């Protein structure tokens, strides 16, 4: 009722037309079925209705704190990412320290390469390992290299630290283990992926050009026979050191969920409220359009819209295309005969 009263008031407060009459002949874009002259006060009412709509949105947003909750959720997400990074940095530091604290010396390296008869080559070596960490190490995963370049192998390579005399698995802190005097370690590699220079280097002096890069290792709480000890990766072996950081991550993740849920709830309520306000605006604009139409015209055979006998005054020419576009512009009708007007399409102002 409030909008209706405002519409009626502003329409009838618009400047009254003079007694003399005039006319308009309009050339409009194709596809328009009917054109209208509406009250000159309609644009002011539209502005008022849209201002009310925007004010309602602003008040709704402030009441529900949508933007504030979104900011809080983003800050919580940033904090979670920081804590994840702290965890990753700690784990990387532990890995780097322990991987670099295990030294492996290679000895008796022999390469068997016969490109003419096989696509694979074989390499055998003895090793001596010294553990300078504070943990029992059961094995390492390594990448073989020739001249600093990774050697293409048939499988992932694992070097298990099993005492060849006692068959006990694991090398403890400060201990040294070797397989000298026993069977060497062996693996196969693809010859086809090596350059002639790399193949020749392995043939002539494998001990000089061959080396390994430790990329992973496993641990145990005690030594024992293989299969009878629990082998641990970095995450499980250092869970005590990582636990505080993991707890911080869990807390941050819970906070993210709480804040995202609060924002989602507020956003859903805002969307519902916005739809309600849009419905009110749509209804008010429809009512305004209905009450503000003064004259109408359909196209003639030459697709022109002719308005005759129109009291002199200021109007708005309104011609919708039914697809969200419309001609909408102010026109002045005088009592000095018919005027010719050509107008362009804009967004339909009666469509929210």
Same domain, 120 and 229: yes
Location of structure tokens 């494998």: 206
Same domain, 232 and 284: no
18 within a domain of the structure (yes/no): yes
- Of 210, 237, 264, which one is at a domain's C-terminal end? 237
Domain encompassing residue 36: 2-46+279-347
Same domain, 230 and 127: yes
Contact 316, 348 (CB under 8 A): no
42 within a domain of the structure (yes/no): yes
CATH number, domain containing residue 24 = 2.60.40.10
Ramachandran angles phi, psi of 351, nearest 5°:
-100, 120
- Of 221, 237, 253, which one is at a domain's C-terminal end? 237
273 within a domain of the structure (yes/no): no
User: What whole-number distance in Å separates Cα of residue 329 and Cα of residue 28?
Assistant: 12
SS3 275: helix
Note the pLDDT tens digit of each residue in 292-317.
999 999 998 888 899 999 999 999 99
Number of structural domains the chain divides into: 2
Same domain, 217 and 299: no
116 pLDDT more than 70: no
Contact 20, 47 (CB under 8 A): no
Same domain, 106 and 207: yes
Same domain, 233 and 105: yes
Same domain, 112 and 206: yes
Note the pLDDT tens digit of each residue in 45-97.
999 999 999 999 999 999 999 999 999 999 999 999 999 999 999 999 999 99
161 within a domain of the structure (yes/no): yes
265 within a domain of the structure (yes/no): no
- Of 207, 237, 267, which one is at a domain's C-terminal end? 237
63 within a domain of the structure (yes/no): no
Same domain, 173 and 231: yes
pLDDT band at residue 234, thresholds of 50, 70 and 90?
very high
């Amino acid at each position: 009722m409030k909008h209706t009263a405002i519409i009626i008031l502003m329409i009838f407060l618009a400047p009254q037309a003079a007694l003399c009459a005039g006319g308009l002949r309009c050339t409009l874009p194709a596809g328009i079925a009917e054109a209208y002259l509406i009250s000159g006060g309609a644009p002011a009412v539209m502005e008022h209705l849209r201002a009310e709509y925007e004010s309602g949105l602003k008040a709704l947003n402030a009441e529900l704190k949508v933007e504030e909750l979104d900011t809080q959720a983003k800050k919580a997400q940033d904090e979670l990412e920081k804590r994840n990074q702290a965890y990753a940095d700690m784990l990387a530091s532990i890995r780097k320290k322990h991987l670099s604290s295990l030294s492996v010396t290679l000895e008796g390296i022999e390469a068997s390469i016969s490109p003419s008869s096989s696509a694979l080559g074989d390499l055998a070596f003895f090793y001596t390992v010294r553990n300078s960490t504070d943990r029992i190490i059961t094995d390492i995963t390594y990448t073989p290299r020739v001249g600093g370049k990774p050697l293409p192998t048939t499988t992932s390579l694992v070097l298990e630290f099993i005492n060849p005399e006692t068959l006990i698995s694991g090398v403890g802190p400060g201990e040294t283990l070797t397989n000298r005097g026993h069977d060497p370690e062996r693996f196969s590699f693809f010859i086809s992926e090596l350059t002639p220079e790399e193949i020749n280097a392995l043939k002539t002096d494998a001990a000089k050009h061959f080396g390994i890069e430790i990329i992973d290792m496993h641990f145990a709480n005690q030594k024992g026979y293989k299969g009878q000890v629990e082998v641990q990766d970095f995450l499980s072996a250092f869970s005590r050191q990582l636990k505080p950081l993991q707890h911080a991550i869990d807390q941050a993740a819970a906070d993210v969920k709480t804040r995202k849920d609060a924002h989602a709830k507020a956003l859903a309520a805002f969307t519902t409220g916005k739809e309600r306000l849009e419905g009110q605006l749509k209804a008010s604009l429809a009512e305004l359009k209905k009450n503000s139409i003064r004259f109408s015209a359909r196209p003639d055979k030459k697709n022109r819209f002719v308005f005759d006998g129109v009291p002199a005054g200021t109007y708005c020419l309104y011609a919708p295309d039914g697809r969200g576009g419309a001609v909408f512009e102010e026109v002045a009708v005088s009592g000095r005969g018919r005027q010719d007007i050509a107008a362009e399409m804009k967004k339909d102002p009666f469509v929210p």
